[in-house]
Each structure stands twice: as C-alpha cells, then as structure tokens.
Amino acid sequence: MARLEMCPLDGLPWFVPKSSLDILVKEETVRNILVGGRLVPLDRVEETAQEILQHARNLFAVLVDQDKIRYISGFLEEGIGDKDLPFIRQMNKGAQKLMLETSHHRHIKTLENWDQGSLRILETEQYRMLAPVLHFRGHHEFTEFQTLPYVSLDAENQRGCTAEGGYAEVFQARIHPDHHDFWERPTDEDKGPLVAIKRLYSSHKSSFITERRFHEALGATNCHSHLINLLCTYRKGEKYHLVFPWADGTLREYWRRSPAPSFSSQTLLWSFKQMVGIASGLSLIHEFSVPADSPDSTLFGRHGDIKADNILWFSTFQGCDDPDGILQIADMGLASIHRRGSRSNVNPATVIVPSTYSPPDAFRGRRISRAWDVWSLGCMYLEFVTWILCGYEAIEEFSSLRGSEDEDPEFEFSSDCFYTADFNGIRLSVFEWVDFLRNHDHSSAAIHHLLDLIMEEMIVLEPQRRSRSQRILQRLSEIYNHVQDNPEYLLQPVSDGQPLLE
C-alpha cells in the first residue's frame, strides 16, 4: 500500500511522496480504472493510459483522490496535464464565484460545471499529490497552499525555531529523500536530510535577492568547506525562504557545551585549524573570482556580521574527517558584494551596526570596507583564545568587564562592545584581558603569536591600519603549520616577558 507522509509545517498535514505516487499510478492500475469506470471506449484505453503515464500522472492521482476521475478525458482533450498544475485561483476582480485556471493562466473548460465546494476542495487538496522536488541551488515559486516535502522530526532532533536579529526566523525540517537532489544519497536514506529553513520577515524581494546573489556568486567559485552552502530557495505565497544544511549548533553553543576544554594538542590543533578555515572563508568572501563571461573577473564582498553566533558547527560533514567537526561562516543577511571600483566605498550612514563585534567605523564617519569584518573576526578570535585557556564562563566574564566600563547611560548600542563609548579608542578592559591571557599558566608561544596578530593587525581603531583578510590567513597559516610540527611551540607555557619561540 502507498504511504502518506505527515508534513509538520504549513500546508496540508499529509502528502504522498514521489515513490508512493509511482506505486499508485502504475500502468495496470490506470488501465483498470479506465476500464472499470468506463471512462473511455475500450479501443482507446491503451492510448489514454499511455498519455496519462507520460503526461498526466499527478493529475490522474489528484482526480482519483478527489473522486473526480470521470473528468480525466475532458482534461486530456483540452491538452491539460501535469505541466499545468497546480490549478490556481483566477484573478478576476469582477468575478462573483471561484474559478480555477492552469498555472499558466489558461482557462479550464472542464471545470466550468464543477460546484463551488468541489472547486474549493480541489484548490487546496490537490497539493497532497503535488509535493515538489527541491533542486540544488534552484529557486522555486509556490502558492500559499503548497504542501512542501517536509516529514516529521524525531524527538531528539527537534529544536524548533529561533529568531535571527529581527531579519528572519529559522525552522528545522527534514526533507523526504524522494524530494531533493542536493546530493546523491542523504546521510540517512530512510529519513532524509535535516535542513534549516530561513524565512525572511520582509516580503520585499530586494533583501532576498541580495542574500541569494551573494551565495550564488560564492557558489560559482565552487563550495568552500568553511562557508555555509545554500541548497535552494523558494517563495511561498509572499514569503521568501532560503534552505541550508542543518548544523548541530553555533560556535557559541559549541563553547557552551564544552565549558572547560582540556588544554591538549587535540583541542589546540582543532581550534587553530578552524580559525585558519574561517579566515580562509572570509578571505574568499572578500575577494573571489567569477566566471570568465562576467563583466568583472573579480568581486569584493563584505559579510557585515561576523560573530560566534553566525559561525555554525557541524559534528559531521561530507568531506570532513575531523572527529571534532567543522566550523562554517553563515548568515549572509547583512552581506554585500561590490565591484572593484566600489569595494570600499559604502556610506557609513547607511550601515546597520548589528552586534558586540562591530567596529566603531560607522560612528566615526569612516567609509565602510572589508576592514569591518577583520575587526569583528579579531574580537571573535579573542573569545576563542579565552575559551581555549579559561573556558566558557571566562567569555561571559570578559563581556561583563567590557560592559562595566560604560559610564554614559545614554550609550545606545551594545554595552559590551570592544571600543570606548566615545568611539575613539579600544576599551581598557580589552587590553587588560589580553595581558591576563598572556600571563595564563597555559599560554604558549603559539597563543602569544595569535594574541599579537589579533591586537596588532585586527582589533585596530583605524580601519586602514587593519590587515587584509588575506594577510590574516597567511599569518594564521604560518602559526598553524608551525604548531603541527612543534609540540613545544603549541603547548609549552611562556611568560609575557619571556622571549617567544621562533
């Protein structure tokens, strides 16, 4: 017997998966229904059955489901088949009653004699047989009634929805394995892949197009292992959605789950490797090549909101054999792409200042450039070092120390940012915290060099004095290459006044 699947999100509560539909609409079944219902003359049964199997399988299933199969000949005579589904409401303001037309806005003569109740049922319940296949990097347009191919989640996987800074909400979903082509075989063949559905609050197309084009441009350079991969997009009704792989958490949640990491070569090597990977991903965002037929061979991007909450952690990932998983840069909602002539020419008055990790550039009237991301990355790396040496509670303590410096009750933005309330300096608590980390019992030469990089080239007040992300990647790679071959450089403590190992 063909199986129904429950859809836990909006739309009809049930749909018929593609594999079940294939079982339902077989040649023998179609022929038996045509003959048993005397729907066509016997000498036309074979011809009609083949036409249904080739061009109207879904329409046949819809009509059987609605107990309206007697109308199949009328639809076929009009040349109406699966290509014309779903049937949609005719947009006629003067109409006094509901009328349906094809998805291409063609009149359907066969439906003229249907009563209003049957038309209303057809309008909504046809989707039980029309669950779409989501195509990799494709965009889909769906009506508000469309049932999507999401299936029920196991209790252990269910995490509900979370808001993203007033820009979007994210739902966890599992796609039925029949209904996507993101990869050849899902991780769990029977259940289908877990995905994150990002639904934008705004119905304006511009916000959606900006984020989708950013991912498309990056995807044209091939997937980067430390950048989140956009699987597909769709509009359902008036709302835009982006579909991504579902992560096991954010970097901040990872820190929280491991509040007291062991100071071991495994922890440090993984941390340095991930910092290199994130810098590599950001370097690609900042400057990446595009196809040769593009008017510009190089584009310059800016993420705009680098922070631990926008770095995703996957415990397992295709192509990653690290037992501790992999980190990926995500949430491109504030990202932007520029051509060569405008890459560092954004008006500061137009920039949203989103988080603790943002630099004071916009408040100081500085033109907004890719250096914005370098500051943010430095702040996040400083928290990463804090977690390595002291654990998660120390990250919270560091935040409280920064916030305690605020003396101006009218200070409008995050009280735990890294710059002073007058925007003209770096908080004293930041320098004091770095000194504390340097003098920690486990602070090695590698940690010292990383702190030097952060404070001398990343968390720097003037944006033009911050190093480019390509330079940050180079320096981090040098440290990482050294720690792999030199356990003493990685693990042996050194005092702040002691010469560093070279």
Per-residue pLDDT tens digits for 440-470: 999 999 999 999 999 999 999 999 999 999 9
Q: What average pLDDT does range 294-302 have in this prediction?
A: 60
Per-residue pLDDT band at 415 (split at 50, 70, 90): confident
Whether the pLDDT of residue 139 is over 60: the answer is: yes
Sheet strand arrangement including 249-250: 249-250, 311-314, 326-329
Share of the chain above pLDDT 70, in %: 82
Per-residue pLDDT band at 96 (split at 50, 70, 90): confident
Which residue intervals of the chain bear CATH 1.10.510.10?
250-336+356-491
Per-residue pLDDT band at 301 (split at 50, 70, 90): confident
Q: What pLDDT sits at residue 336?
A: 58
Q: What pLDDT sits at residue 381?
A: 98
Indicate the burial class of 363 (C-beta count within 10 angstroms; 0-12, 13-18, 19 or more): middle
Least confident of 12-16, 67-71, 108-112, 467-471: 12-16
Which residue intervals of the chain bear CATH 3.30.200.20?
139-245
Whether the pLDDT of residue 210 is over 90: the answer is: no
Q: How far apart are CA 248 and CA 113, in angstroms?
A: 53
Report the residue count for the chain. Answer: 502
Q: What is the pLDDT of residues 370-396, one digit of tens each?
A: 999 999 999 999 999 999 999 999 999
Model pTM score? 0.85
* Domain 139-245 of CATH type 3.30.200.20: yes
Query: How many CB atoms lie under 10 A from the CB of residue 377?
Result: 27
Per-residue pLDDT band at 279 (split at 50, 70, 90): very high
14 or 156, which is more confident? 14
Q: What average pLDDT does range 230-235 have in this prediction?
A: 95
Whether the pLDDT of residue 414 is over 50: the answer is: no
Q: What pLDDT sits at residue 119?
A: 96
Q: What is the 3-state secondary structure (H, E, C) of 240-298?
A: EEEEEECCCEEHHHHHHHCCCCCCCHHHHHHHHHHHHHHHHHHHHHHCEECCCCCCCCE
Q: What pLDDT sits at residue 174?
A: 92
Whether residue 354 is preceded by a cis peptide bond, meaning omega within 30 degrees of 0, is no
Q: What pLDDT sits at residue 292?
A: 43
Least confident of 47-56, 121-130, 254-263, 403-412: 403-412
CATH class of the domain at 250-336+356-491: mainly alpha
302 or 108, which is more confident? 108
- Enumerate residues 6+ apart whose C-beta is below 8 A from 336: 210, 214, 301, 302, 304, 346
Structure tokens at 248: 């096991």
